[in-house]
């Protein structure tokens, strides 16, 4: 038996596949390569190229590879751009999830770990976000992830589906030099590309009510995130109880200024970031509690900020 990882050729998905392999659990990757890379798929792992909207292909992959459960990461993940592409975002993230659920029901696959997002919370008005913090998504992306959670919960009430949703915050770092974050919108890639191009990285606002005036966010290492997926999958497969949702957060947070200083130290490139005006809607601080995930999914921060920066930088340099 194996686990199907949709989006398994992506930055996060490929780490999840490797985390499964470290536990001796077989996986199958399903990806349309719209943002993933074929080279990120570990050697020997079965690969099915196709759209998450293709229910028949999903059914075929589930049946052919004797799939026992699914980790669903496939989708359109660019929150800011989703405002300009709402229909595409909903099609990929909502219709795609519905297609997957239909294929799972048709083939009798009843275990699901869903990749959700901190974007479901929007701009929280609390210092520490918990799973019960009100959900107020502010983009089609965040809305689509929340609807995905609802779809899964409804399907579980109607069928024997066992599931949990993992809400990510800011995922960084690399667990292996062959994989790096290819997103054109995330902080680490933006900073690294600026340095590699000889440009000065930029901070949006330094007058927030935080220790150094820059925004504080929750950054977690991608390898830690991947491990949590495997534990969640193992619990589902064993019939052990899980919560419907878990925040994967640090409980502390790191400022953008701290990240810039860590990047300068790790890379050996001295720079003073440019200070740009605040971006509209950016809250001063978003940090999440990971207590529930620590209790059930062996969730913990195994990597320091320096580890996160160093591993990400080394992986990006290896790709040059």
Task: Spell out the domain ranges in the chain.
Answer: 2-171+219-248, 172-218+250-287+302-318
Measured CA to CA, the distance from residue 199 to residue 274 in angstroms comes to 10
Task: Give CA–CA dist 277/275, Å, rounded.
Answer: 7
pLDDT of residue 285: 87
What 3-state class would DSSP assign to 297? helix
Task: Measure the CA–CA gap between 236 and 20, rounded to whole angstroms.
Answer: 14
Q: How far apart are CA 53 and CA 55, in angstroms?
A: 6
The set of catalytic residues is: 141
Q: What is the pLDDT of residue 220?
A: 96
What is the structure's pLDDT at 269?
A: 96
CB 103, CB 38: distance < 8 Å? no
For residue 274, list its beta bridge partners: 202
CA distance 25 to 19: 9
Q: What's the token pair of residue 200?
A: 């000065």
Token pair, residue 41, equals 């798929």
Helix, coil or strand: residue 260: helix
Which CATH superfamily hosts domain 2-171+219-248?
NAD(P)-binding Rossmann-like Domain (3.40.50.720)
231-284 pLDDT, tens digit per residue, is 999 999 999 999 999 999 999 899 999 999 999 999 999 999 999 998 776 788
- Distance between CA atoms of residues 52 and 98, nearest Å: 9
Report how far apart, in Å, the C-alpha atoms of 167 and of each of 64, 217, 278, 293 are.
Answer: 30, 14, 26, 10
Q: What does the alpha-carbon distance between residue 282 and residue 73 come to, in Å, rounded to a whole number?
A: 26
pLDDT for 41 equals 97
Please tell me the predicted confidence (pLDDT) of residue 133: 97
Query: What does the block give as tokens for 57?
Result: 């292909």
| CA 5 centroid distance within chain | 13
d(CA 181, CA 174): 8
The token pair at 277 is 């005006």
| 219 vs 173: CA distance, rounded Å | 9
pLDDT in tens, 157-179: 999 999 999 999 999 999 999 99
With a cut of 50, list the residues of the chain below it in pLDDT: none
Taking CA atoms, 296 is separated from 24, 67, 76, 233, 241, in Å, by 21, 24, 28, 12, 9
Residue 253 CB contacts under 8 Å (≥ 6 apart), including other chains = 216, 217, 218, 219, 285, 286, 287
Identify how many contiguous H helices and E strands the chain contains and give both numbers: 11, 13
- Nearest-angstrom CA–CA distance, 89 and 74: 12
Span 172-218+250-287+302-318: which CATH code?
3.90.25.10
Hey, what are 222's tokens?
């991608």
SS3 213: coil
């Amino acid at each position: 038996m194996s686990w199907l990882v949709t989006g398994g050729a992506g930055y996060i998905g490929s780490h999840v596949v490797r985390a499964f392999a470290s536990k001796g659990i077989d996986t199958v990757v399903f990806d349309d390569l719209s943002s993933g890379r074929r080279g990120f798929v570990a050697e020997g792992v079965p690969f099915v190229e196709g759209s998450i909207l293709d229910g028949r292909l999903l059914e075929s992959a589930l049946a052919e590879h004797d799939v026992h459960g699914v980790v669903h990461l496939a989708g359109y993940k660019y929150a800011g751009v989703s405002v300009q592409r709402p229909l595409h975002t909903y099609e990929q993230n909502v219709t795609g999830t519905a297609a997957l659920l239909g294929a799972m029901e048709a083939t009798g696959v009843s275990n699901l770990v869903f990749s959700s997002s901190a974007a479901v919370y929007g701009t929280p008005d609390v210092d520490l976000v918990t799973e019960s913090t009100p959900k107020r998504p502010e983009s089609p992306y965040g809305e689509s992830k929340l609807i995905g959670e609802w779809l899964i919960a409804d399907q579980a009430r109607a069928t024997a589906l066992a599931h949990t949703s993992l809400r990510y915050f800011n995922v960084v770092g690399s667990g292996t030099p062959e994989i790096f974050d290819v997103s054109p919108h995330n902080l680490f890639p933006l900073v690294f590309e600026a340095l590699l191009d000889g440009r000065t990285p930029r901070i949006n606002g330094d007058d927030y009510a935080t220790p150094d005036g820059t925004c504080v966010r929750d950054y977690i290492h991608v390898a830690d995130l991947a491990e949590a997926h495997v534990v969640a999958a193992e619990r589902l497969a064993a019939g052990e109880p899980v919560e419907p949702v878990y925040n994967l957060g640090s409980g502390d947070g790191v400022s953008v200024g701290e990240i810039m200083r860590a990047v300068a130290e790790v890379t050996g490139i001295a720079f003073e970031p440019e200070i740009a005006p605040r971006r509209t809607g950016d809250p001063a601080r978003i940090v999440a509690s990971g207590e529930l995930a620590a209790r059930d999914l062996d969730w913990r921060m195994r990597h320091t900020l320096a580890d996160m920066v160093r591993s990400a930088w080394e992986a990006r340099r290896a790709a040059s």
